[in-house]
Amino acid sequence: MLRADRAAWLTRPVEPPAAIELVEIRPDDAHLWSRVVTHYSQERLVSPVLRSFRDALFPEVWNGAPVVPWLRGILADDERVGFVMLAVANAHHPEPYLWRLLIDRLHQRRKIGSMVLNQLREQLSAQGHRSLTVSFHEGRGGPRLFYERHGFAPAHGITDDDDEIGARLSW
Maximum distance among all Cα pairs of the chain, rounded to whole angstroms: 52
pLDDT > 70 in the chain, percent: 98
Alpha-carbon distances, residue 78 vs 22, 102, 105 (angstroms): 11, 17, 17
Look up the CATH architecture of domain 15-170. 3-Layer(aba) Sandwich (3.40)
Q: Side-chain half-sphere of 165: how many Cα atoms within 13 Å?
A: 15
The torsion defined by the Cα of 127, 153, 52 and 24, in degrees rounded to 10, comes to 30
* Domain boundaries along the sequence of the chain: 15-170
Strand-pairing partners, residue 23, are 73
pLDDT per residue as tens, the chain (171 positions): 689 888 888 899 999 999 999 999 999 999 999 999 988 778 888 899 999 999 999 999 988 899 999 999 999 999 999 999 999 999 999 999 999 999 999 999 999 999 999 999 999 999 999 999 999 988 888 899 999 999 999 998 787 666 889 999 999
DSSP state of 40: G
The torsion defined by the Cα of 133, 139, 144 and 146, in degrees rounded to 10, comes to -120
DSSP H stretches of helix in the chain: 3-10, 30-33, 49-57, 112-126, 144-149
